[in-house]
């Protein structure tokens, strides 16, 4: 959902600015766009960490196959902590960026752009905090939003593989539970690889700009910033597709909802039986999200489509 917000709001603002050299929504977008982009990095970072912890708990549980299904309220509470924490850490971005205007000496066209400069109208204490954040922003970006999720995911995967090592492989090999665990681990690794590849250019550019900005022209800095933003947009576009492809139950549920909406949810006997059968298969394979398999499949009843 946060990736959708990035593509829906931030991408049009950036494209509009590059085409018209005018900033859509003015000074407001200069603060909101970086805030949403940094919040997106935080949401991805802490979500990967939470998924790594969940896989570790699943591997170290004494009875992994009988682990109870997590309640929806617990999942929503975790998501709320991740979202609120990510947005709280990104609040300084709103106060850091300001709208600036520059007149081209050749064409005389006024160009609007966002510059990283705290407003002098801020209270002294807040201004000092924002200035401190600006000075430490590069290494904070690199440590929290790049090293933390990658190192955390690698560490959790190594510990999980060691805990569920050779002594558990013979008895679990070929079982449905082990296959579900393998699919979910592959999903987490795939999300981490995509995230690492898409954030590496931005961190490299931040370090280069921090030490070589006096020797670089404004056009070069603007180009690097644009490349970094489009790598973020690419990550937001690929991540949902990757998640739907690797998580078979989630992808199947998504396709069922799309097909149901296209068909208008019209009740008929043939489609009812087929949809009930597909629903049964989806529910049986949905144990990828949990660690408790169903004792017995529910009866096949022609109750209509999954919607």
Tell me if 283 is assigned to some domain. no
Looking at residue 285, its pLDDT comes to 47
Kind of pairing, strands 110-116 and 97-103?
antiparallel
Tell me if 214 is assigned to some domain. yes
- The tokens describing 281, both together, are 């298969």
Which domain range does residue 221 map to? 1-61+71-163+185-258
CATH code (residue 190): 1.20.1070.10
> Do 301 and 281 form a contact (C-beta atoms < 8 A)?
no
> Do 112 and 23 form a contact (C-beta atoms < 8 A)?
yes
Tell me if 284 is assigned to some domain. no
Alpha-carbon distances, residue 124 vs 9, 27, 94, 116, 130 (angstroms): 32, 21, 16, 18, 10
Coil/strand/helix, residue 276: helix
pTM for the predicted model, two decimal places: 0.73
Looking at residue 130, its pLDDT comes to 86
Tell me the C-alpha distance between 150 and 54, whole Å. 16
Tell me the C-alpha distance between 182 and 163, whole Å. 14
Tell me if 264 is assigned to some domain. no
Tell me if 267 is assigned to some domain. no
Q: Within the chain, what is the greatest distance between any pair of CA atoms?
A: 76
**Domains of the chain: total:** 1
Per-residue pLDDT of the chain (307 residues; tens, 9 = 90+): 888 888 888 888 888 888 888 888 878 888 898 899 899 999 999 998 888 888 777 777 666 555 667 788 888 898 999 999 999 999 988 888 888 887 766 667 777 878 888 877 888 888 888 888 888 888 888 988 999 999 988 888 888 777 766 544 444 444 666 667 777 778 888 888 888 888 888 888 888 877 776 667 777 777 888 888 888 889 888 888 888 887 777 777 777 777 776 665 544 444 444 554 554 445 444 444 444 444 445 555 445 555 4
Give the residue ranges of DSSP H helices in 108-264. Answer: 124-142, 148-163, 169-172, 176-212, 218-246, 248-263
The DSSP code for 7 is I
**Helices 27-60/11-20 angle, 10° precision:** 150
Looking at residue 39, its pLDDT comes to 92
> Do 82 and 50 form a contact (C-beta atoms < 8 A)?
yes
């Amino acid at each position: 959902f946060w990736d959708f917000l990035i593509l829906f709001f931030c991408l049009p603002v950036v494209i509009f600015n590059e085409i018209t050299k005018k900033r859509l929504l003015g000074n407001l977008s200069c603060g909101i766009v970086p805030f949403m982009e940094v919040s997106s990095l935080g949401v991805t970072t802490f979500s990967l960490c939470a998924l790594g912890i969940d896989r570790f708990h699943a591997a170290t549980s004494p009875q992994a196959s009988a682990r109870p299904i997590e309640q929806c309220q617990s999942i929503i509470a975790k998501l709320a902590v991740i979202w609120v924490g990510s947005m709280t850490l990104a609040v300084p971005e709103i106060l850091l960026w300001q709208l600036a205007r520059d007149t081209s000496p050749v064409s005389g066209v006024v160009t609007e752009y966002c510059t990283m400069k705290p407003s002098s109208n801020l209270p002294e204490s807040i201004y000092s905090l924002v200035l401190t954040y600006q000075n430490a922003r590069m290494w904070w970006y690199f440590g929290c939003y790049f090293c933390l999720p990658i190192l955390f995911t690698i560490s959790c995967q190594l510990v999980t593989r060691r805990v569920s090592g050779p002594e558990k492989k013979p008895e679990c090999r070929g079982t449905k539970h082990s296959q579900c665990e393998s699919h979910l681990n592959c999903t987490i690794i795939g999300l981490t690889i995509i995230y690492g590849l898409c954030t590496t250019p931005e961190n490299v550019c931040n370090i280069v700009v921090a030490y070589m900005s006096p020797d670089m022209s404004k056009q070069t800095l603007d180009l690097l910033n644009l490349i970094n933003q489009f790598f973020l947009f690419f990550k937001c576009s690929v991540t949902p597709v990757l998640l739907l492809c690797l998580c078979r139950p989630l992808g199947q549920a998504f396709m069922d909802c799309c097909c149901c909406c296209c068909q208008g949810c019209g009740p008929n006997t043939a489609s009812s039986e087929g949809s009930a059968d597909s629903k049964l298969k989806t529910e049986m394979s949905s144990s990828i999200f949990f660690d408790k398999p169903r004792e017995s499949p529910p009866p096949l009843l022609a109750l209509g489509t999954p919607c």
